[in-house]
Amino acid sequence: MAKLLHIQTSPRGGHSASQAVAEHFIDSYRRTHRSDIVEALNLWQSELPEFNGATLEAKYAVAHGLPHSPEQVHAWKGVARIADHFKSADRYLLSLPMWNFGIPYKLKHYIDLLVQPGLTFGFSPDGTRKGLITGKPMVIIYARGGAYGPGSGAEAADHQSPYLKQIFGFIGFTDFREIFVEPTLATPTSKEEAIAISNRKAAELAAHL
């Protein structure tokens, strides 16, 4: 029995294109992986600790091999809770809108909490850095008002896909499956058209994950 963790990062609920395709993915996943668990993590409804003060200094203490102060021990527990919850999954589904060519700030906040020495990345005895979350696939569903795919002429403006593959690659991920729901704002019907095309890809991907 595997656990699929769906990280939801659009605040638009029933109006969200990324959420609509993610739900279609999950419907197909449930039909084809009947014994698996699907858990939702809505970042807009989650308590994400600020990453400053003792929490931030605790990260530097780990990086410098120094012990945590009592205040840092307490603060680090909040970060470890987020990393432990993330690591409890076997498979990941991340759905997000493009905001200002990049990712929504709630997702960046979550990533800044998640990517920590000793929790999601570490070092080999020879000092080489290594990601600690390995052998797990991540499906990423991107919704964009415009189009950024090959031949669009706007490929270089996509600061979502390269960044997410870099940062999740940093903590060990190598298996990324991507679906681009785009353009959603080009015409009055383009959102529904983009969702319909992406839904077919999502159903196929979910069945074979």
Q: Which residues are near ligand FMN by CB under 6 A?
A: 10, 12, 16-19, 97-101, 143-146, 184-185
CB of 18 to ligand FMN, least distance (A): 3
Helix (H) or strand (E) holding 35: none
Comparing CB distances to ligand FMN, the nearer of 101 and 170 is 101
CB of 50 to ligand FMN, least distance (A): 22
42: helix, strand or coil: strand
Comparing CB distances to ligand FMN, the nearer of 101 and 176 is 101
Q: Considering only CA atoms, give the Rg of the chain.
A: 18
First to last CA, the chain: 14
CB of 12 to ligand FMN, least distance (A): 4
Chain CA centroid to CA 38, Å? 15
Contacts of residue 134, defined as CB under 8 A and 6 or more positions apart, other chains included, come to 172, 173, 174
Retrieve residue 148's tokens: 């950024």
Comparing CB distances to ligand FMN, the nearer of 21 and 61 is 21
Cβ proximity of 23 and 38 under 8 Å: no
Beta strand pairing call for 37-42 and 3-8: parallel
CB of 177 to ligand FMN, least distance (A): 18
Closest by Cα among 97, 193, 102, 186 to 141: 97
CB of 24 to ligand FMN, least distance (A): 13
CB of 199 to ligand FMN, least distance (A): 14
Cβ proximity of 181 and 141 under 8 Å: yes
Comparing CB distances to ligand FMN, the nearer of 18 and 72 is 18
What span, in angstroms and rounded, lies between the C-alpha atoms of 46 and 31? Answer: 28
Comparing CB distances to ligand FMN, the nearer of 157 and 167 is 157
Comparing CB distances to ligand FMN, the nearer of 44 and 123 is 44
What span, in angstroms and rounded, lies between the C-alpha atoms of 166 and 3? Answer: 24
